Homo-oligomer: A and B are copies of this chain.
């Protein structure tokens, strides 16, 4: 059966199966042959739908980014910029926490993931509407992303997975304690995330206040450059697309 009249594969099915494999066994478990077998197909078939294996993994990462809630940045959403950023960060972290095995894929850099660009665009637009100067709005999107992805990396990227493996219940009967340690670490990470997020938003609020008192930072926004953040001017549209999630 060389070519079936109905295609056996689709990009969606490939990505979904790859994502499930990553979630279940980690990025390293994904080989073209293994993935193809899971799809009931031979290895080279994948190359009719993707140019490289890396492209498949990029699509898996993008699918996770696509699950980040962005409703707080909608024009008609009542949340103020600070609450919106907070809720977004929490949703962002939750999306990564749901797929810890995907986090290492983020380490390959922003890449060209479309969902990442959509995120950057949404944040940028909402911040500008709230009265932030464009250059500052760009910075805010980036620095929030830094913090959230960094926390995901530090918290659940292969960290406690290794730990659980290290505590072999065979010769270590107090497996309750291993659970306790993992739970404890989780609490530490969560506390650090919450403290850091609150501090970050407090710090931004200080800068925002300095801005409005000095410039003309009303809600119609987009206008006068204030000196407060000092990144120089920049065109709005291109600024937002600079880096993806």
Contact residues in B for A239 (Cβ distance below 8 Å): 188
Residues from chain B with Cβ under 8 Å of A243 in the complex: 154, 159, 185, 188-189
Taking a contact as CB atoms under 8 Å apart, the answer to whether B154 and A142 are in contact is: yes
Q: A158-B109, A159-B243, A203-B200 are in contact. Are A195 and B150 (CB under 8 A)?
A: no
Q: How far is the CA of A136 from the CA of B198 in the complex (A)?
A: 13
**CB of A236 closer than 8 Å to a CB of B:** no
Chain B residues whose C-beta falls within 8 Å of the C-beta of A185 in the assembled complex: 242-243
CB pair A159 B109 closer than 8 Å: yes
Chain B residues contacting A158 (CB-CB under 8 Å) are 108-109, 111
Identical chains in the assembly: 2
Give chain A interface residues in 220-245, CB to chain B under 8 Å. Answer: 229-232, 234, 239, 242-243
Stretch in A44-52, A63-71, A99-107 with 4+ CB within 8 Å of B: A99-107
Whether B162 pairs with A154 at a CB distance below 8 angstroms is: no
In the assembled complex, which residues on chain B have CB atoms less than 8 Å from the CB atom of A143? 147, 151, 192-193, 195-196, 199
Please give, as numbers and ranges, the residues of chain B lying within 8 Å of A107 by CB-CB distance.
Answer: 103-104, 106-107, 153, 157
